[in-house]
Chain A
Amino acid sequence: MTSSLMHEPVPPQKAVKLEVVDMGKRFGGIAALAGVSMRVEAGSVHALLGENGAGKSTLVKCIMGFYTPDTGAVMVNDKEVETDNPRQAHMLGIGMVYQHFTLVPSMTVLENLVMGRSHVPALIDWKKERADLSNFVNSMPFSVPLDLPVASLAAGEKQKAEILKQLYLNVRLLILDEPTSVLTPQEADEILGLVRGMAHAGDITVLIITHKFREVLAYADEVSVLRRGQYVGGGKVADLTVDAMARMMIGEREIAPAAARTEQAPGAICLQVRGLTADDENGDAAVNGVDLDVAAGEIVGIAGVSGNGQSELVEVLAGQRPPTGGAIMVRGDAYHATRTEMLRHKLALLPEEPLHNACVGRMSVAENMAFRNFDQPPFSKGVWLSKSRMRAEARGLIERYRVKTSSPDAAIATLSGGNVQRAVLARELGGDVDVLIAANPVFGLDFAAVADIHGQIVEARNRGAAVLLVSEDLDELLELSDRILVMFDGKIVYETPIAQADRTNIGRSMAGH
């Protein structure tokens, strides 16, 4: 009896139990993880909760073997294991679905699944592989088309294909990194429901990285909370409240409450878009005739699953993509995103990924802060540039917006993500703003920074700016907007004032129903 227990091998067809003991990892002088221990029971759904920068990704990357931890151990089914690279983790039945999908876009689902195996024959017999995979897919609770290139799948289908791939690789501990960030609420519910079903059937164990309480409450059995690289609490979800989890996540810091929208009637129409069309990188139509109005003193939110033309719409408004048709007007004047028009109409932009979209990484913080007005006095005298004025002005903005930088002369690429964002915010909102276009402005930032930036946006609106806010985070839109539009397949398909906004209806329109 005891001997049979002792010699019980890792059961490959059953969910596994994972334990992390005293895991530590430093990058340079920074401790990304400091002695984290936690236990994930077999056949459970376990949520790993924490802010951006709390160490969640570092922890799972140590488990997966992407990083070698400095201290600590990983135990699978109570046995210590070595995971030096992702392949080894796969052998142990541990697999991960990344936030940025790792299926090869130009290859078919079939090719991706076969190539994901640890042993691929030198010559591949596609007929046989196809038959095997069809059988496997038929035994699963969901399916995806095998012969389409991954690039042509919708986000939800890609997510399913990723999960299918892990299951096909016989993964018994599935790690999902922010799995719902690219899905409609309905798709998220479907996928989380499916994996929970498989977990409770004892087939797999699921570890979900998330910062969404809604998902934790609805789908997780247990939760572990990380803050600044440390385990700060956790337990059965049923025993915890949202407030308790939020306190663990944020700590005792005071978060300034978001500036409230003042009650004000919207002013005159400021930004008008009529029948706008634009193509994406592949030359396919991405924006298919968008009409919208934004009045002075209102925030219009645009909801939608990423890839439905929102980023192309913002790029057209920002002058980064030529429209193929339609018109944009600002205060009745035609607008073509030229510098003179932007200056005249006091247009400001907060694009997503500011380092990629709004900054020149190798230029200094001061120079980056002068992008809007380097050719205006006092920064320029005729054709000449005054670098000292630029630096002096930047010092003021750095202080006012609390940008952490060693010097105004430091290259902006050396700043952290949140500080780059603040530097751009300082540039765009430092002066008067009549029209503000923001796209996922707080993506990847921590609570304090999010509250700060939300406050600035609302303040701009309260001062009478027309604000167009594009976001993939429905909660953000529900919090900030006066009106919400939903974009699907390049068109505005739904509109609701905030007072009547309803998550279910919005979610349904996001999926095109």
Chain B
Amino acid sequence: MNSDLVLRFGAGAKVFVVSLFAIVLSLIVFGIFVVLSGVNPLDVYRLMYVGAFGSWFSWQNTLLRSAPLLLTALCTALPAQMGMVIIGGEGAFVLGGLAAAAAGLLLSDMSVPALIVQGAMAIAGMCAGGAVIASAGALRHLRGVNETISSLLLSYICIAVLNQMVEGPMRDPTSLNKPSTRALPDWAMLGNIPGMDIHVGLIFGLLFCLATYMLMFHTTFGFAARMVGGNVRAARMAGLPVGRLILIVTFLGGAAAGLGGMVEVAAVQGRANATIASGYGLTGILVAFLARQNPLIVIPVAILLGGIDASGGLLQRRLDMPDASVVVLQGIIFVILLASESVQEGINLPGWFRGIKPRSSAVAVAEGAE
């Protein structure tokens, strides 16, 4: 029993150490990069820490930015449990925001209670986002269309739909230089968590992560879904309804991103316009990969990346660095993380970390040879 625990814990510890190593290495590479553009990297690191976690104010800023990341990361992480690489979170986010704005404006005109308006907005956002990603899932299942490409194409289409709606049928005539929908009335907006300057969207994100973690790792549904993700042939052989599982999980992933869009509209922007397509969907992909597609680990990783995001403003103001600095760092982390994953097999952690040695790959080679 003890040895089993060590084995399970050891594997997790290894992933943690490798990911940490990847992030540290990325920060070093980013440091070299900023040196080349004439900035002192120590200033950058210090400001990043200050901007992300240096004060309660920065913490609030960080948490605010991590809220949408929690939700968009699930849009990649949940389908990934089924072996699908979905990168259309941005589209689900945007369409979720648009649908939420539409539902919110419609219902607030009818002056129903705020809670019902907000509930309807959340449902509309989740359904719209869910529909986008579920269609990528359906196309994969029914027609064998590669879901990575189709979800990204759907994402561009969603952004076009958003632009069309806010420039056309849903445009508020008073929004001149930045076409938008009408603003939601204040009473219909999502409030803050009591005692903090953080909207309740953070709670939505945390709950969504916890709930989907329980679903994927502690229920029979999640077990079946992970079987499909691990080997669809084995899942079929066990008689599992593969298509239904794919549709449900992709819908859930899209619903998470759609809810993120709803939060962006109902708690931040107050209306739908082109600003809601601001890259949370793309960063969510990185969060999901860094969290090894595990909804529970998405939480700390989203906070970390939210912090990097939050510090971007400070870097821009104090050091006059371009706002794309953060994206560069994210890109470096992503690249190094993927490269480090292949190293993972080869390294051995010291002492008790190690647990039971897995069968060495050399043995597998020797047997594979015959």
B240 engages A320 (CB within 8 Å) = no
For the complex formed, measure the closest distance between the CB of B296 and the CB atoms of chain A, giving whole angstroms.
16
| A203 interface residue per 8 A CB criterion | no
Q: How far is the CA of A416 from the CA of B8 in the complex (A)?
A: 20
Which residues between 354 and 398 of chain A lie within 8 Å of chain B, taking CB atoms? 356-363, 367, 371-372, 374-375, 380, 383-385, 391
| B57 interface residue per 8 A CB criterion | no
- 14 sampled A-B residue pairs with Cβ under 8 A: A27-B366, A30-B362, A30-B366, A57-B370, A318-B236, A319-B236, A319-B237, A337-B239, A360-B234, A385-B220, A391-B4, A409-B8, A416-B364, A416-B367
B335-370: CB near A (< 8 Å → 1, else 0) gives: 000000000000000000000111111111111011
B1-34: CB near A (< 8 Å → 1, else 0) gives: 0011001100000000000000000000000000
| A189 interface residue per 8 A CB criterion | no
- Specify which of B230, B239, B365, B369 is in contact with A319 (CB 8 Å cutoff): B239
A414 engages B369 (CB within 8 Å) = no
- Specify which of B223, B231, B365 is in contact with A361 (CB 8 Å cutoff): B231
B218 engages A417 (CB within 8 Å) = no
CB-CB < 8 A to A371: which residues of B?
Answer: 227, 234, 238
| Apart from A28-B366, A406-B356, A409-B4, 14 more pairs, CB < 8 Å | A28-B363, A28-B365, A53-B367, A58-B366, A319-B239, A337-B239, A343-B239, A359-B231, A371-B227, A383-B221, A385-B218, A406-B3, A416-B359, A444-B370
Q: How far is the CA of A385 from the CA of B223 in the complex (A)?
A: 8
Which residues between 207 and 225 of chain B lie within 8 Å of chain A, taking CB atoms? 218-224
| B178 interface residue per 8 A CB criterion | no
Chain B interface residues toward A at CB < 8 A: 3-4, 7-8, 218-224, 226-227, 230-231, 233-234, 236-241, 356-367, 369-370
B239 engages A374 (CB within 8 Å) = no
CB-CB < 8 A to A444: which residues of B?
Answer: 370
Chain A interface residues toward B at CB < 8 A: 27-30, 32, 52-58, 61, 67, 318-320, 337-343, 349, 351, 356-363, 367, 371-372, 374-375, 380, 383-385, 391, 406-411, 414-417, 444
Q: How far is the CA of A362 from the CA of B358 in the complex (A)?
A: 13
A53 engages B370 (CB within 8 Å) = yes
Residue of B nearest to A388 (CB): B1
Q: How far is the CA of A219 from the CA of B227 in the complex (A)?
A: 47
B237 engages A318 (CB within 8 Å) = yes
Given A320-B236, A341-B239, A414-B358: A375 touches B367 (CB 8 Å cut-off): no
Given A338-B241, A339-B240: A415 touches B359 (CB 8 Å cut-off): yes
CB-CB < 8 A to A340: which residues of B?
Answer: 239
A32 engages B366 (CB within 8 Å) = yes
Q: How far is the CA of A358 from the CA of B364 in the complex (A)?
A: 19
For the complex formed, measure the closest distance between the CB of A135 and the CB atoms of chain B, giving whole angstroms.
39
- Specify which of A61, A318, A341 is in contact with B369 (CB 8 Å cutoff): A61
Indicate the member of A30, A407, A414 with the most B CB atoms within 10 Å. A407
Q: How far is the CA of A30 from the CA of B362 in the complex (A)?
A: 8
A363 engages B237 (CB within 8 Å) = no
CB-CB < 8 A to A372: which residues of B?
Answer: 238
Given A28-B362, A385-B220: A410 touches B237 (CB 8 Å cut-off): no
- The number of inter-chain residue pairs (CB within 8 angstroms) is 128
Q: How far is the CA of A29 from the CA of B363 in the complex (A)?
A: 8
B220 engages A374 (CB within 8 Å) = yes
Q: How far is the CA of A333 from the CA of B209 in the complex (A)?
A: 43
> Which 6 residue pairs across A and B have the least CB separation, nearest first?
A28-B362, A360-B230, A339-B239, A27-B366, A375-B220, A27-B362
Given A28-B363, A57-B369: A408 touches B4 (CB 8 Å cut-off): yes
- Specify which of A53, A361, A380, A406 is in contact with B220 (CB 8 Å cutoff): A380
A320 engages B239 (CB within 8 Å) = no
For the complex formed, measure the closest distance between the CB of B66 and the CB atoms of chain A, giving whole angstroms.
28
Q: How far is the CA of A406 from the CA of B4 in the complex (A)?
A: 9
For the complex formed, measure the closest distance between the CB of A280 and the CB atoms of chain B, giving whole angstroms.
15
For the complex formed, measure the closest distance between the CB of A355 and the CB atoms of chain B, giving whole angstroms.
9
Indicate the member of B4, B231, B369 with the most A CB atoms within 10 Å. B369
CB-CB < 8 A to B370: which residues of A?
Answer: 52-58, 444
CB-CB < 8 A to A53: which residues of B?
Answer: 367, 370
Indicate the member of B220, B226, B234, B363 with the most A CB atoms within 10 Å. B234
CB-CB < 8 A to A52: which residues of B?
Answer: 370
A384 engages B218 (CB within 8 Å) = yes
A351 engages B237 (CB within 8 Å) = yes
